[in-house]
Amino acid sequence: MKLETYLQRIHYSGAPEVTLENLCALHRAHLLAIPYENLDIHLGRPLTLKLDHIYHKLVEEQRGGWCYEMNGLFAWALRAIGFDVTQLGSTVGAPAQGIDGDQDHLILLVQLDQPWLVDVGFGNGFLDPLPLMPGIYPRDFLEFRLEQQNDSWYFHNHPHGAQGYGFTLHPRQLAGFARGCHTSQTSPESGFVRATVCHRFTQQGIVSLRGALLKQITTAGVSEEEITSPERYMEVVNAIFGLDATIATVLWEKVWQGHVAWKEEQANAQ
């Protein structure tokens, strides 16, 4: 695991020094370069919490990853530079869990002049770190909110993205997410098992691909495209998310069948 190679992967040319400016630049560079994706689950490849495996996948194989991989790798890189990083657990869509709570999302806390909430693994969340203080935070054309109640916090995501998450400031080790990592990629009830997901930050906004539905969030609003052919699916996976088109070839039939089933569910629910 080489820091220089990671910095090349995210196209970061600044000085690897411990400053708020560099933290923000690294956070943004990581999200602009590495997509969030759960495709290995649907390819039948187990996802692990081993940092050397994560580094090989995201840096050397030029792949993306989910929260444990994205934030696990980013925490390692920040520490290698010299940042004070604490790993925290959070629960998506629910209030903060206690110390022994079964938390399903890894986030980071970086201590500088004040604590900063850092998260490159939420897919369609924030592009720049947020100060860990209650308040409303406009970022580009999106808006986020942090709420505190005693020792518990809640992050409110922008209205076009996934729901937020509750968390406390109790430190967690990466290995402590083993149960969540296993359940999220094996349980039939898991959203990660039910659908393929890719998210990518761009200079214009956020692009998301859930199954065969492509959504783009920009200053102009939200647009959606239903992908109906394997050729278009391969083009999107490769050109927009920077992933090997052969992955799309293998997944297309499964993705389309899942999309048809989802449309039927939506129709029956109306």
Extract the tokens encoding 164. 């937020």
Report the distance separating Cα 56 and Cα 135, nearest Å: 38
Instruction: Tell me if residue 160 is catalytic.
Output: no
Task: Give the span between the Cα atoms of 15 and 237, in whole angstroms.
Answer: 32
Residue 200 three-state SS:
strand
Exactly one of 105, 158, 199, 259 is catalytic; name it.
105
Is 42 in the active site? no
Contacts 24+ apart (CB under 8 A), 146-154: 146/117, 151/96, 152/95, 152/96, 153/96, 154/95, 154/96
Catalytic residue among 119, 181, 199, 259: 119
182 near 175, Cβ under 8 Å? no
Contact 39, 198 (CB under 8 A): yes
- Residue with tokens 């956070």, as numbered in its chain: 27
- Whether 53 is a known active-site residue: answer no
Active site residues: 67, 105, 119
